[in-house]
Structure 1
Amino acid sequence: MTKQRLGRSGRTRRAFLAGVGVSASVLAGCSADSGRSGGDGDGGGGDAGKNGVDGPTGTGTTGREGVSPSGNGGTRMESSGSTADSITVFHAGSLAPPMEAAGARFEERTGIRVNREAQGSVASTRKITQQGRSADVLGVADYRLLRDGVLPAFGGWYSIFAANELTIAYTADSTGASEVGPGNWWEVLTREDVRFAHSDPAADPNGYRSVMAMMLGAMDFRGRSLYGEDVYDALREQELVPADTETALLGQLRAGALDYAFEYASIRATEDVRTVDLQPRVDLSREGSEFARFYENAAVEAGGNTYVGAPIAYGITVPSVANAPEAGRRFVEFVLGEAGDRITDETGFTPIDPAIVPRSARQATPEAILEVAEPRRSLGSLALDVGHRPPTHRSATTNTPARTPWDLLP
């Protein structure tokens, strides 16, 4: 049965941001957007809210509205001695909706202006590790870019704060729009008259995750695969890679240049496009050990690195090269707090509540962050400690041992 869905509650990104108080001038200054879904089992998921990467149990603590832990809970965050009047935030394109809304709220509370640069997470990270640029906050769509690429040379700690999942976006005018669904998306995408795309795997986690999803569909899970190797080969032959980030594909989708695009499911909350619920075996949403071990079977080589499949988890940090580290820390504290959680949820992501910091980096983590985040060694199947390296895999694309991933340092 064909399953078609419009953006959650029928709201566009502009309507949501206007609803949380973002001015028209702020709306006009942002160019990146993003992805959400749910459901259990191995069929297409429903829109049940949480996407299968469950946050640990726990309760909130003081300071969760972005107020300094010693603050009195007023409407403005207390000054922590920082004289910075602005901060620079590098972030994944998919994080544009929550970062835009959080930036507006943070500026309203503190008077500190938030300047954002949205790009693919790999490219955003390399601005710091390879291009010599500085940022006060770095937010990425794959926390391992922080764990293995930023720490310890360019930072001492990070936090996991949100989860997501893959989906396929399309419009009412897309070829096959009346037929496509969870049970046949691969058949529709491999038709000769269909144009589908994903972002650049060398620049953006959505790109290498899209390739992983196609790989995983051809692999046996619980004794069966979604399709054979011939279909996987056809998908790879027909794929287009016209942009660095998945958010840049949305304009091409609406303009009719593309029929389908791999996106993050959080776009359902902020974009007026239709989406296909992908099976949990391929949508990278489940942190349980059975799914996580299966995801690890997919390895993608891109840009000199090998990326290994894992559940989708977003990370954030204050790099050691920050010009305004205290103001950056206050912004991260706000994002991890209750107000930030609400924004994260309303823009289609699954908040990790409380947020998580690696136990191995506890001593380097600011006390204010520890008021809103829990030190742990793992989140489900996800290893958090700095210095962790995944097991050696055989690359699904080259059949050679996969190199250690995330080597983003010069």
Structure 2
Amino acid sequence: MCDKFVGFRVATTTVSLTLLVMTASILFKGAEGATPEKGRGVVSVLYAGSLVVVHEQALGPAFQQTTGYTYQGEGHGSVAAARMIKDRLRSPDIFISADHAVNAKELMGQQNRNLVEWYLTFTSSSLVIAYHPKSRFKNGFEQARAAKLPWYEVLARPGMKLGRTDPNLDPKGYRTLFLFELAERYYRKPGLTQALLGSPTNPVQIFPEPELLIRMESGQLDAGVFYRHEVIAHQLPFIDLPDEINQSNPRFAALYRKRTYTTDRGMTFVGAPVLFTITIPHTVRNLAGAIAFVRFALSEDARATYLKYGLRSAPILVGGDALKVPVDLRSFIQGRYAP
């Protein structure tokens, strides 16, 4: 068992979404831990919005075809999704967050009615700068991609339309702030964050997570900050960033930890490597189906699909009360998550 959060393998292979949908049942047939008997009822999965393509095009259909349960997925910024649960606007069987801290701060503890008591880490990603292939700044972005020009100099050009998500509602939103703050130190460019982003919640740049991708793909934006797996799934060109600022590498966890953001509700989030978690909240209505989904999502075949969509491998570590993890899921645990 691994005692702490360790490094990841990187997988960047793109796949045909259509082909994956057509062959989903083949890819997952006999997946490790898959339910042998056909299940009944709906399994409601509320997940981080950046996972919409992999969940709706591959994982969800495959789970449904393999297990017999009816998959019902919905994606939002993780903080917004957690608040939906807390405010009784959603009652999912499964909650998948893009940041472990969303569980701890928004859903765990007596102050949050113990809506979540445990979670498992299972996949990870990094932040990148994506750009529209027909942007009038394309040449600059291509030069930055080839390391011939600093990416932040391209973003500083007059007329640049940059998009990002709300740091009050989405981990990617506050991680974007961390990215630019880390870049100030890494490139020795004080004032870079203010110059390129303005205020943390600059309304000119802020868009809901699904809308941000739509605006990027339609050409309404020149560039945006995304997770690497998002732009791979949507086949958008992008610029990889150093591990010191892209928040992907556990080796730099201490560096990331120096960045913080306090939301409009007074919740303070601390920088950490990008890590997705899965849990069964106490809003669960179909416990057997929820357990089946977690087993399915943690199977080797499902994890391989996450990798094909540009996500990265991560150890399966438990956070919260390990004794509250359903018995049927404990064999997957490889250690304890230590933020």
Who is 1:241 aligned against? Answer: 205
RMSD over aligned Cα, in angstroms?
2.4
1:148 counterpart = 2:105: yes
User: Counterparts of 1:316 and 1:337 in 2: how far apart (Å)?
Assistant: 13
- Residues 16 and 270, structure 1, Cα contact 8 Å, conserved in 2: no
Who is 2:51 aligned against? Answer: 95
User: Counterparts of 1:157 and 1:308 in 2: how far apart (Å)?
Assistant: 19
- Residues 13 and 271, structure 1, Cα contact 8 Å, conserved in 2: no
Residue 357 of structure 1 and its aligned partner are, at CA, apart by 1.5
Residues 1:280 and 1:361: Cα distance change in structure 2 (over 3 Å): same
Bigger relative CO (Cα 8 Å, ≥ 6 apart): 2
The structure richer in helix per residue is 2
Structure 2 alignment gaps of length 5 or more: 1-11
Structure 2 residue identity aligned to 1:127: M
Structure 1 residue identity aligned to 2:51: L
The size of the alignment, in residue pairs, is: 312
Residue 313 of structure 1 and its aligned partner are, at CA, apart by 0.4
Secondary structure of 2:207's match? coil
Who is 1:130 aligned against? Answer: 87
Matches within 5 A, 1:207-222: 207-219=173-185
Who is 1:293 aligned against? Answer: 254
Who is 1:114 aligned against? Answer: 71
User: Counterparts of 2:20 and 2:170 in 1: how far apart (Å)?
Assistant: 25
Residue 363 of structure 1 and its aligned partner are, at CA, apart by 1.3
- Residues 14 and 309, structure 2, Cα contact 8 Å, conserved in 1: no
User: Counterparts of 1:21 and 1:203 in 2: how far apart (Å)?
Assistant: 34
- Residues 168 and 174, structure 2, Cα contact 8 Å, conserved in 1: yes
Secondary structure of 1:167's match? strand
1:158 counterpart = 2:119: yes
User: Counterparts of 2:127 and 2:80 in 1: how far apart (Å)?
Assistant: 20
Who is 1:205 aligned against? Answer: 171
Residues 1:191 and 1:13: Cα distance change in structure 2 (over 3 Å): farther
Structure 2 residue identity aligned to 1:78: E
User: Counterparts of 1:191 and 1:12 in 2: how far apart (Å)?
Assistant: 35
Residue 232 of structure 1 and its aligned partner are, at CA, apart by 2.4
User: Counterparts of 1:227 and 1:190 in 2: how far apart (Å)?
Assistant: 16
Q: Percent identity?
A: 25
Who is 2:285 aligned against? Answer: 323
Residues 1:125 and 1:269: Cα distance change in structure 2 (over 3 Å): same
User: Counterparts of 2:193 and 2:34 in 1: how far apart (Å)?
Assistant: 50
Residue 16 of structure 1 and its aligned partner are, at CA, apart by 4.2
Residues 1:244 and 1:133: Cα distance change in structure 2 (over 3 Å): same
User: Counterparts of 2:165 and 2:18 in 1: how far apart (Å)?
Assistant: 23
User: Counterparts of 1:250 and 1:273 in 2: how far apart (Å)?
Assistant: 10
TM score, norm. by length of structure 2: 0.84
User: Counterparts of 1:377 and 1:140 in 2: how far apart (Å)?
Assistant: 15
- Residues 147 and 158, structure 1, Cα contact 8 Å, conserved in 2: no
TM score, norm. by length of structure 1: 0.71
Deviations 1:116-171 (A, max 9, x none): 11111111111111235311000111122123332241122210000100001112
- Residues 15 and 308, structure 2, Cα contact 8 Å, conserved in 1: no
- Residues 131 and 236, structure 2, Cα contact 8 Å, conserved in 1: yes
- Residues 129 and 239, structure 2, Cα contact 8 Å, conserved in 1: yes
Who is 2:8 aligned against? Answer: none
Residues 1:255 and 1:132: Cα distance change in structure 2 (over 3 Å): closer
- Residues 163 and 349, structure 1, Cα contact 8 Å, conserved in 2: yes
Residue 269 of structure 1 and its aligned partner are, at CA, apart by 3.4
Deviations 1:221-272 (A, max 9, x none): xxxx314223322112396434221x43222122221100100001343122
- Residues 66 and 337, structure 1, Cα contact 8 Å, conserved in 2: yes
Residue 78 of structure 1 and its aligned partner are, at CA, apart by 3.1
> Which of 243, 246, 251 is equivalent to 1:283?
246
User: Counterparts of 1:9 and 1:357 in 2: how far apart (Å)?
Assistant: 28
Residue 105 of structure 1 and its aligned partner are, at CA, apart by 1.1
Who is 1:175 aligned against? Answer: 136
- Residues 317 and 337, structure 2, Cα contact 8 Å, conserved in 1: no
- Residues 136 and 322, structure 1, Cα contact 8 Å, conserved in 2: yes
User: Counterparts of 2:229 and 2:302 in 1: how far apart (Å)?
Assistant: 16
User: Counterparts of 1:21 and 1:275 in 2: how far apart (Å)?
Assistant: 31
User: Counterparts of 1:241 and 1:325 in 2: how far apart (Å)?
Assistant: 40
